[in-house]
Amino acid sequence: MQYTQNYQKREKKMKDFESLKTSIKSKVLTVVFNRPEKMNTFSGQMLKDILELLDEAEKDDEIRAVIFTGSGKAFCAGADLSSGEDTFDMSEKGKSKTEVKRDTGGILTLRLFDFKKPLIAAINGAAVGVGVTMTLPMDVRICSEKAKFGFVFAKRGIVPEACSSWFLPKIVGISNALQWCLSGKIFMPQEALDKGLVTEVTSEDKLLERAEEIAADFVEATSSLSVTLIRQMLWKMLGADHPMEAHKIDSRGVYSLGKTGEASEGVMSFLEKREPNFPGKVSKDLPEFYPWWEDKEFK
């Protein structure tokens, strides 16, 4: 009973965000952008809320995966343009003209990139500008038949943000990335599916259910330590200059988990034909070599 009460308190705390609604079911945290009257446009408050939520979710070993979706008709219809013509003017009076203020979308996607648990985007409606670029470091993107997409930066007089010039070509190829970004066109789910931006298109009423099924595949009968390491290995190796870099990390990962109860439980559960009960906790049991990459500095 005490455990249940503590868990409910954590769940209640996760709900106390100005721009987000949350729920936890079967070790999966679902995050709903909750500004439907503004098409869930991305604001400073939303960035603050998401970053805080990610920190909490990463520390909670009862959360094994995270789903992002939107309320109302939109997933996220891009940046909040309520500041009008000054929306993208990030200069500050009194500051050096050479001093650059960081793009807030990039702050978010870099945090998602380093997140220790699987991320799924369930794109229910419009995902435009930062509304689509924020999904690129997520591990799976699915959408409803009512979704639409747009890398509209050239039509707003700016450039792709949120590190999308790194993510997007790796996901869909350079030609598709250029075609979408140079034109700034709005495109529909079938094109997103055909070109690999999303992996599935569902009916509107089945979207969240399907996202939960995908999350369950990541959560059920898997080692949370293995999942964390695999997620980071595959993402981080996209920038490696030689397969030897992968071999170094593969070897360290197999060695580290092989000498713990994690690997022995995986083997014995297979031999004994039962479901595994992995002992490792992401919050405290990741191998000593993690993280193996050096954080990059913004300058």
Q: Which residue has the tokens 């343009």?
A: 81
**Domains annotated on the chain, with CATH:** 2-81+102-219 (3.90.226.10), 222-299 (1.10.12.10)
First-to-last alpha carbon distance for the chain, in angstroms, is 51
Residue 261 burial class via C-beta count within 10 angstroms: exposed 0-12, middle 13-18, buried 19 and up: middle
The token pair at 1 is 């009973």
pLDDT of 2 higher than 50: no
Question: What is the band of 5 on the pLDDT scale with cuts at 50, 70, 90?
Answer: very low
Tokens of 123: 């794109």
Q: What does pLDDT average to over the chain?
A: 91
Q: What radius of gyration, in Å, describes the C-alpha atoms of the chain?
A: 20
pLDDT confidence of 9, banded at 50, 70, 90?
Answer: very low
Contact between 55 and 41 under an 8 Å Cβ cutoff? The reply is no
What integer pLDDT is reported at residue 81 of this predicted model? 65
What whole-number distance in Å separates Cα of residue 138 and Cα of residue 122? 10
pTM score: 0.90
Q: Coil, strand, or helix at residue 272?
A: coil
For 236-254, what is the mean pLDDT?
96
Q: H/E element holding 218?
A: helix 207-219
Query: With bands split at pLDDT 50, 70 and 90, how would you rate the model's confidence at 98?
Result: low
Segment 127-142 shows an average pLDDT of: 98
Residue 12 pLDDT > 80: no
CA distances to 124, 165, 269, 270, 287 from 264, rounded to whole Å, are 41, 42, 8, 10, 16
Does residue 57 surpass a pLDDT of 90? yes
> How confident is the model at residue 145, as a pLDDT?
97
pLDDT mean over 226-249 = 97
Q: Quickly count: other Cβ atoms within 10 Å of residue 275's Cβ.
A: 8
Place of tokens 């030897």: 244
